[in-house]
Copies of this chain bind each other. A is one copy, B any other.
């Protein structure tokens, strides 16, 4: 029974009040007396926001907490993929231990939900998914993890992968992933036909990594639009990265965004600093669902990143050139409600009846909280305190 009285907090930086939680649900905002035996916390007038959401990450890849991984390999996408697949276990990237570290880090920084792509390939079969699955079970009540069956090494170029994806979805992965149908698979029709058929068979949504830039990515998007229409998958497809929307052609991008809005395609952005990325403000104007994600953090691909969605909010906000308080509040929206919209979470948000998943934020205003990236004073998941002062209540392995 997760009952809690959280005193003196400012929901979304508004008026100070208490939050009453019964059975892990928000029972009320106001002024309350503690009920006998009820846990009580004092929020010290901190802001309270709904749990942050990392809607695009890779829990199975990080070297977080391991010795520094020296990387002077060539910056070639295919080589990065192959190196990781062939060497990840010998390097010591145990999918369970490392996903624990990554996910606990996110929880300690106020996240309540994760959508994680997890690699599936013939070398490892479903072993990496099983490692993250174990983490998901161990962290039940700490942070919710949704798993995307992700063919990181390709679908058409990696025989045996389709059968593994099929099996992963049968076993309960909630989303089907994909990656660069042209760039990686060299067969957009082949890959997309297979992925849409698999998703339809299992009744799951699709979330495709689309690094393809410019007209190539636009072409792939159009092939996706065709299949969304043909399969009736409006509202069930997400495009991660979507760098093509960052191309320097205002009208062309506008037409793509029109289609994205019409087909209710969701966009996941990481604010990739060295790439051309979608404008989150333009997507907002078009009414597109947009979530944010940390992507890989400190993995064999690259060293950057922290398991902290406010850190990522900074990356996304700076990349988008946002400076005003209003715009900073929208960045916070993207790493919270925006992720919930993409993941179609039920019972999310600071409303009576919803799950008591939230984080306190240091800062005078929401904008201040976003740029300050200060330690989160308290994180609550389903009414239970899961982190204090940046430290999760569970130990990092």
Contacts and interface: CB of A to CB of B under 8 A. Distances in A.
Interface stretch (A177-185, A204-212, A219-227, A320-328): A320-328
A275 B301 CA distance: 25
Nearest to A271: B273
Interface stretch (A64-72, A119-127, A187-195): A64-72
Counting every copy of the chain, the complex holds 2
A18 B123 CA distance: 48
Interface in A281-321: 298, 301-304, 314-315, 317-321
B371 A304 contact: yes
A368 interface: yes
Contacts of A319: 273-274
Nearest to A320: B274
A251 interface: no
Nearest to A369: B68
B71 A323 contact: yes
Interface in A80-131: none
A364 B275 CA distance: 29
B365 A318 contact: no
B324 A72 contact: yes
A287 B368 CA distance: 40
B324 A365 contact: no
Contacts of A365: 68, 70
A28 interface: no
Give the dominant DSSP class at A's interface: loop
Nearest to A373: B306
A303 B68 contact: no
Given A67-B364, A363-B68, A364-B68, A303 B323 contact: yes
Nearest to A248: B248
A308 to B, nearest CB: 12
A326 B71 CA distance: 8
Contacts of A230: none
8 closest A-B pairs by CB: A274-B321, A302-B323, A273-B318, A68-B368, A68-B364, A303-B371, A72-B324, A273-B319
Interface of A: 67-68, 70-73, 75, 248, 273-275, 298, 301-304, 314-315, 317-321, 323-326, 328, 363-365, 367-368, 371
30 contacts: A67-B364, A68-B363, A68-B365, A70-B325, A70-B367, A71-B323, A71-B324, A72-B324, A72-B325, A73-B324, A75-B321, A75-B324, A248-B248, A273-B273, A273-B315, A273-B318, A273-B319, A273-B321, A274-B318, A274-B319, A274-B320, A298-B371, A301-B323, A303-B328, A303-B368, A303-B371, A304-B314, A304-B317, A304-B318, A315-B318
